[in-house]
Amino acid sequence: MLKEELTRRNLPPLRTKEEMLETLLREEYGRMPPAPQYIIYDVQQNIVNRFCAGHASLHRVTPRCVVEGKPFSFPFTAAIPTEGEKHPFFIHINFRRDNPDRYMPTEELIDAGFAVLSFCYDDVSRDNDDFTDGLAGLLFPDGKRKGDDPGKIAMWAWGASRVLDWALTRPELDPARAIVCGHSRLGKTALLAHAVDERFAIGYSNDSGCSGAALARGTRGETVGDIVGRFHPWFCENYYKYAGRAEQLPFDQHWLIACAAPRPVLIGSASLDDWADPISEQLAALAAGEAFPVGLVCPDRPAQVGELLADGLVGYHLREGRHYFSRHDWKQLMAFARAKFGD
């Protein structure tokens, strides 16, 4: 019945990664801001004594970048296991600066052998329609954008790549096992970061819904019209013309997932999160699968609550409950990462 539903959604077929990414950036998120010409890092080491019972160090890092000749910086935190080398690590694009945080059980991640680096999206550019703020102000000194200029999601995804720049300089972190993740609007951001930056080994979207992991065509939750009505700064201006006309999009969101191929992607939904529309997220994961050597391996039915489908390079899980980034979601993500890394 999933396959029949996919046929009814009448999706544009997948294309090459170059064509898909070009279209998504031009018509939905905007072009990515340029990589910095230059970065140095201010690092405050061990900012909390005996962090995680002494099993981790917490550092505060500020990359000082030069982008298009102008200075820009934002802070992030890095919680890294004290013992051992070459840890797999998460880059968590978060709503707050806290580490740990209600969306990030740092100690449990550390105890499982993962490091977790995290920044607050507002520190890259605030979540409002002020395009003179933060990175936006550097790109658009008069605050005005047009056409395919980046929206805020593209800027936040750019921030994840800057955290990764630093991570790749650290011997405690394994450059081959970087995972980018986020929840809701930041799940959309994590998928974009994973699509554009091939240094990420795994991407995880938690409850990202409309303009993230969920198909626009045939959605039962938030529509393109809803999202560009309430949250237009997240996107480029070219996207606005598709409000109420999702069937005219030259892409659908399975393209965003497919752009990661062959690197693994996990999509997480929550059973009571109708606005993000779990079935449209599972269908997008399924439709993206053709881009991977092995896509989403699943029976021809909606996932059951509590199920983790992790046999392919596209994974899907459905948690019980509401819109939230919970410990259960992190556990499923760790299980998926271990399976894909062969740990």
Q: Find, among 190, 151, 161, the residue nearest to 268 by Cα.
A: 190
DSSP per residue over 51-113, as a string?
GGGGTEEEEEEEEEEEETTEEEE--EEEEEESSSS-EEEEEEEESSS-SSBTTB-HHHHHHTT
Q: Which is nearer to ligand GTR, 80 or 120 (CB)?
A: 120
Active site residue 205: no
Residue 318, both tokens: 């459905």
Q: Please identify which of the residues 55, 73, 232, 323 carries the catalytic annotation.
A: 323
Residue 133, both tokens: 């703020």
Q: Is 74 exposed, middle or buried (0-12, 13-18, 19+ CB in 10 A)?
A: buried
Give the shortest CB-184-to-ligand GTR separation in angstroms: 3
Q: Which is nearer to ligand GTR, 57 or 206 (CB)?
A: 206
Coil, strand or helix at 166: helix
Active site residue 184: yes
Q: Which is nearer to ligand GTR, 41 or 275 (CB)?
A: 275
Q: Is 4 exposed, middle or buried (0-12, 13-18, 19+ CB in 10 A)?
A: exposed
Give the shortest CB-257-to-ligand GTR separation in angstroms: 17
In the block, residue with structure tokens 């993962």 = 114
Angle at 116 between CA 82 and CA 79, to 5 degrees: 40
Q: Which is nearer to ligand GTR, 205 or 332 (CB)?
A: 205
Q: With CB under 6 A as the rule, give the number of residues binding ligand GTR.
A: 6
Under the binding rule (CB under 6 A), the answer on residue 222 touching ligand GTR is yes
Under the binding rule (CB under 6 A), the answer on residue 256 touching ligand GTR is no
Under the binding rule (CB under 6 A), the answer on residue 184 touching ligand GTR is yes
Q: Find, among 75, 95, 271, 76, the residue nearest to 186 by Cα.
A: 95
Q: Please identify which of the residues 184, 205, 269, 326 carries the catalytic annotation.
A: 184
Under the binding rule (CB under 6 A), the answer on residue 209 touching ligand GTR is yes
For β-strands 87-94 and 115-120, DSSP reports them as: parallel
Give the shortest CB-96-to-ligand GTR separation in angstroms: 13
Residues facing residue 120 across a β-bridge: 94
Give the shortest CB-308-to-ligand GTR separation in angstroms: 23
Q: Find, among 30, 4, 56, the residue nearest to 145 by Cα.
A: 30
Q: Which is nearer to ligand GTR, 195 or 313 (CB)?
A: 195
Give the shortest CB-196-to-ligand GTR separation in angstroms: 19
Give the shortest CB-209-to-ligand GTR separation in angstroms: 5
Q: Which is nearer to ligand GTR, 161 or 184 (CB)?
A: 184
Under the binding rule (CB under 6 A), the answer on residue 210 touching ligand GTR is yes
Under the binding rule (CB under 6 A), the answer on residue 227 touching ligand GTR is yes
Under the binding rule (CB under 6 A), the answer on residue 236 touching ligand GTR is no
Residues near ligand GTR, by CB under 6 A? 184-185, 209-210, 222, 227
Catalytic residue numbers? 184, 323
